[in-house]
Structure 1
Amino acid sequence: MTLDDLKQMAETVRGEIGKTVHGQAHLIDHLMIALFARGHVLLEGPPGTAKTLLARTLAGTLDLDFGRIQFTPDLMPGDVLGTSLFDFQTNEFRLTKGPVFCDVLLADEINRAPPKSQAALLQAMNEGVVTIDGTDNSLGPDFFVIATQNPIEQQGTYPLPEAQLDRFLFKLVVDFPSLEEELEILRRHTAEPLGFTQRANAAQTVLSRAGLAEARALIDTIRLSDDIVEYILKLVRATREAADIAHGASTRAADALAGAVRAAAALDGRDYAIPDDVKQLFTPAMRHRVVLGPTAEIEGRDPADVLENILNLVEAPR
């Protein structure tokens, strides 16, 4: 596979997703970057903005096993991971795998589960392994989590702790579509039966498991120049020194951003990264990894605004 092949493959996946999800082009791009960079994604937005549909449609373009967990306040860790049950016929304990054993996992409304159930995903997302009764069970190299949460309704929710947020490569904010995009969505739906629920199945499978592995291997060969690496580090260190930020991003955050930049360059058909790659990915990679200071919170400032200010202050390489 060449970089041109990878770029064409990415365009094909975008086209298939576009058959179902109109607009949200930047969300689709970031989801694909996370997929190829072996990262996970947190989608945050109000109900009815196609978060679940987008995740299911992306999974539909991949020849991978798809699983979904609807997080609820009574969800237990065993409901996520599975449990060992005693088999009276064999007089042995047998592992009954939970829904986490898949390739693409949709964790719907992840902030509605209690902390102990949220924490069940920590090891899975970080290591691709689940330990049950002292035995490590691999989830495979393609394990990819897309989690959603609703920022409006907070009754009965449990905010994700910083340690778990740090497991996500990107936090993507899903907003309402533009007037033109929303009009096109309604036009499309008026040609379908009322209550039509098969939209996610409209996307054809275009990326095989072997193709994904080959694309990732190609991305692994991309190397960042010293100027780009230093630029990434300057931006991340600036989050630790900004007056509006109480707790800045970690070294792991800088490493995750660098990996995402490599994937973004390759998906654009380049074997080198440019400063615009870093600028494009800095905010989605950092907005969930920084904690605003009390002054910024009182003023109602958003992490995206603070991070955008850092981008303006740190000089990019030429």
Structure 2
Amino acid sequence: MKVDEVSALAARVREEIGKAIVGQTETVDLLLTALFARGHVLLEGAPGTAKTFLAQCFARTLKLDFGRIQFTPDLMPADIIGANLFNFQTSSFTLSKGPVFCELLLADEINRTPPKTQAALLEAMQERQVTIDGKAHPLSARFMVVATQNPLEQQGTYPLPEAQLDRFLFKQTLQYPDREEERRIVATYGMQSGQTAPADMGVAQVVTPKTLADAGAAVAAVKLSDDIVSYVLDLVRSTRETADLQSGASPRSAAQLALASRARAALAGRDYVIPDDVKALALPVLRHRVILSPAAEIEGRRADEVIAALVDRAAAPR
């Protein structure tokens, strides 16, 4: 598959998801980028902004094996990864797999459960395997987590540990739709009776597993020049040198920003990365990996503002 075919594939996915989701084109593009970059996505937004429904439509369009976990305060790690249960008929233990054994896992309201349970996903997200009673069990090579969370200032939420946040390729903040988009939402779903499923809105599979594999091979062939590598490094390292941030981005974030930029280039129909790819992904890649300094917090600054300023100051290669 050539990169222009990857771009056409992305257009088909956007069009199909658009049958059920109004707007959110940037979020759909980030989900596609994360899929080809083998990363995970954290969606943050107020209740009712279609975070869960978007993940369901995305999985249906690509026909990914879909799993879902509704995170609650009483959820246990075994409820996520599974456990070995004793079978009295055979007098032996058998593995009861948890919902993590899938291709796309929707971790719904991930910040509703304590950090101990959140940590059950650490190995799965990084190594694409889970260890149960000392034995490693591999997950799908396409395993991807799409987690949703409500803003931390809402009641009944727990902050995600830094190690957990660093395993997400992107953090996307979903805003309320504009008036015209909200009008379309009300006009479409105000006529429905009961809960609507993606199939009810005509969302269907438009990509086969072979096409996904071919597209992944095309993304792997995208070129990353030395100048772009230096640009990514300069940008990430600048987060550790500014007084506005108490803690900067990790080396993992630099590697993932470069990888995601290659995927974005392929989705745009190019077999090479340009500085605009890096600039477009800097915020969703870095915003959850930095910590504001106390002085910046007192001034009322936000991480997005600091990162945007660093991007503007970084010298981009020609």
Residue 254 (structure 2) aligns with: 254
- Matched position secondary structure for 1:137: strand
User: Which amino acid letter does the alignment assign opposite residue 289 of structure 1?
Assistant: R
Conserved in 2, the CA contact under 8 Å of 1:20 and 1:200?
A: no
Conserved in 2, the CA contact under 8 Å of 1:76 and 1:117?
A: yes
- Structure 1 position 200, deviation (Å): 5.7
- Structure 1 position 7, deviation (Å): 1.0
Is residue 87 of structure 1 aligned with residue 87 of structure 2? yes
Residue 196 (structure 2) aligns with: 197
- CA shift digits 1:185-241 (9 cap, x unpaired): 112224x33324224653111122222122112111112111111111110011001
- CA shift digits 1:239-260 (9 cap, x unpaired): 0011100110111100000000
Residue 278 (structure 2) aligns with: 278
Conserved in 1, the CA contact under 8 Å of 2:60 and 2:198?
A: no
How many Å separate the matches in 2 of 1:162 and 1:199?
34
Residue 26 (structure 1) aligns with: 26
How many Å separate the matches in 1 of 2:293 and 2:153?
24
How many Å separate the matches in 1 of 2:186 and 2:111?
30
Residue 56 (structure 2) aligns with: 56
Conserved in 1, the CA contact under 8 Å of 2:39 and 2:168?
A: yes
How many Å separate the matches in 1 of 2:62 and 2:290?
32
How many Å separate the matches in 2 of 1:83 and 1:117?
14
- Matched position secondary structure for 1:61: helix
User: Which amino acid letter does the alignment assign opposite residue 222 of structure 2?
Assistant: I
What are the residue-to-residue correspondences of 1:35-46 with 2, within 5 Å?
35-46=35-46
How many Å separate the matches in 1 of 2:41 and 2:117?
18
How many Å separate the matches in 1 of 2:158 and 2:195?
32
- Matched position secondary structure for 2:187: helix
How many Å separate the matches in 2 of 1:103 and 1:249?
28
Conserved in 2, the CA contact under 8 Å of 1:107 and 1:148?
A: yes
- Matched position secondary structure for 2:262: helix
Unaligned 5+ runs, structure 2: none
Say if 1:55 and 1:200 are closer, same or farther in 2 by CA, change over 3 A: farther
Residue 174 (structure 1) aligns with: 174
TM-score by length of 2: 0.97
Unaligned 5+ runs, structure 1: none
- Structure 1 position 153, deviation (Å): 5.0
Residue 165 (structure 2) aligns with: 165
Conserved in 1, the CA contact under 8 Å of 2:55 and 2:106?
A: yes
**Count of aligned residue pairs for this structure pair:** 317
Is residue 11 of structure 1 aligned with residue 11 of structure 2? yes
How many Å separate the matches in 2 of 1:151 and 1:158?
10
How many Å separate the matches in 2 of 1:25 and 1:86?
47
How many Å separate the matches in 1 of 2:85 and 2:261?
44
Conserved in 1, the CA contact under 8 Å of 2:13 and 2:206?
A: yes
- Matched position secondary structure for 2:96: strand
How many Å separate the matches in 1 of 2:74 and 2:250?
33
User: Which amino acid letter does the alignment assign opposite residue 243 of structure 2?
Assistant: A
- Matched position secondary structure for 2:137: strand
How many Å separate the matches in 1 of 2:62 and 2:299?
44
Runs of 4 or more off by more than 3 Å in structure 1?
none
Conserved in 1, the CA contact under 8 Å of 2:56 and 2:198?
A: no
- CA shift digits 1:167-196 (9 cap, x unpaired): 000000000011111111112224x33324
Conserved in 2, the CA contact under 8 Å of 1:41 and 1:170?
A: yes
Conserved in 2, the CA contact under 8 Å of 1:56 and 1:200?
A: no
TM-score by length of 1: 0.97
Sequence identity (%): 59
- Matched position secondary structure for 2:62: coil
User: Which amino acid letter does the alignment assign opposite residue 242 of structure 2?
Assistant: A
User: Which amino acid letter does the alignment assign opposite residue 54 of structure 2?
Assistant: L
- CA shift digits 1:68-92 (9 cap, x unpaired): 0000000000101111001111111
